[in-house]
Copies of this chain bind each other. A is one copy, B any other.
């Protein structure tokens, strides 16, 4: 089994012409596509309709190609679209397809492996609490098992679209009165999703994951999670990317934990582990090898970056989400030489406070092995 992956620019949220062209050219088979992760140009918040528009356009495309109703496409392909293309960030899709039979025997080198999964339907009162963490972890473990990795250390990215089940104003007040205020929002869904990944991969001790720890004890975190939560979604969608000796192809993935938003050295380190060694910026030829860059950004809640005050969290005109996504996208683009980067923001339990996670999928140069 092998993964193929393509980076496709989008002229607008509903532009699926690039994916259609790949299908038409035979580079991609509709029935082999398992996940599309991408950035659309909305605000990334509750009224970001660019994601729904893009999803709908992709569903329509694949419904026609697969000969199934539009509503059924989401059960076969995970669409993990995240809003917010600030500054250098350029709207694009990364399409992952899977082909061939599972390998019966290990190969001497590892290659990119991909799997998807869905949690059961979650209830609003479970979000941001132990229940969500455990269900998310169980789902991730099932996918990881299926990928046949040597160890959890071979998992480099757990990309999630976190559930945020809807609720009424009255339900919220009732829960508050009952002393268990609902946490069914972006903040808690992202936080618990990341802790789910941390639990699944042994990054944190199970007993530390109390309800109280969620979005409070930030010493607990995952180095490979990337969750973007979606209001209205009732189950969390999971895509796991790892390197496995039972998979074939020319792709590999690597990751690093970003200590803060200016941690350029870690970016260089991830690229280096994939055989890409820029002086200060990748050459166009090197950049061509990079298919997907997935990162989580954060406006440090302590109000400073390396001791200097930032104003991202005290600006009531523009959300910190837009600023920090733009910031990390620019830093990544300064090394890559272009802005086709997936940066999703607010990194609760994704790397340390003020930091984030970073994973890169690349076509390996001759003679370089997956990390």
Which residue numbers of A lie inside 8 Å of B, CB to CB? 9, 11, 13-14, 41-50, 52-53, 56-57, 60, 70, 85-92, 169, 173, 176-177, 216, 261-262, 264-265, 268, 280-281, 301-303, 305-312, 314-319, 321-324, 326-328, 330-331, 333-335, 337-340
Contact = CB atoms under 8 A, between A and B. Distances in A.
Name, among A9, A265, A330, the residue most crowded by chain B CB atoms within 10 Å (CB to CB): A330
B86 A323 contact: yes
A305 B48 contact: no
Contacts of A86: 312, 318, 323, 326
Contacts of A50: 47, 49
A339 B310 contact: yes
Contacts of A262: 88, 281, 333-334, 337-339
A308 B262 CA distance: 23
Name, among A47, A50, A340, the residue most crowded by chain B CB atoms within 10 Å (CB to CB): A47
A307 B324 CA distance: 24
Contacts of A321: 316
B47 A311 contact: yes
B338 A308 contact: yes
29 contacts: A13-B52, A41-B47, A47-B314, A47-B315, A47-B317, A87-B310, A87-B326, A88-B261, A88-B327, A89-B311, A90-B308, A169-B303, A173-B216, A177-B216, A262-B333, A264-B334, A264-B335, A265-B280, A265-B281, A306-B337, A306-B338, A310-B339, A317-B318, A318-B322, A323-B326, A326-B327, A326-B330, A330-B334, A331-B331
A314 B169 CA distance: 13
Contacts of A306: 337-339
- The 5 A-B pairs with the shortest beta carbon distances in the complex, nearest first, are A45-B316, A330-B330, A87-B327, A90-B308, A317-B317
B88 A310 contact: yes
B56 A49 contact: no
Given A53-B56, A317-B43, A318-B322, A311 B91 contact: yes
Given A312-B87, A316-B47, A334 B337 contact: no
Given A280-B268, A334-B262, A302 B169 contact: yes
A310 B339 CA distance: 8
Nearest to A11: B309
Contacts of A173: 216
A57 B56 CA distance: 9
B265 A14 contact: no
Contacts of A46: 314-316
Nearest to A339: B308
Nearest to A179: B212
A308 B318 CA distance: 24
Contacts of A57: 56
A315 B41 contact: yes
A337 B307 CA distance: 11
Contacts of A44: 316
Contact of A41 (B89, B311, B335): B311
A340 B304 CA distance: 12
A319 B70 CA distance: 35
A187 to B, nearest CB: 13
Nearest to A307: B338
Contacts of A265: 280-281
Contacts of A177: 216
A125 to B, nearest CB: 18
A60 B53 CA distance: 13
A44 B280 CA distance: 31
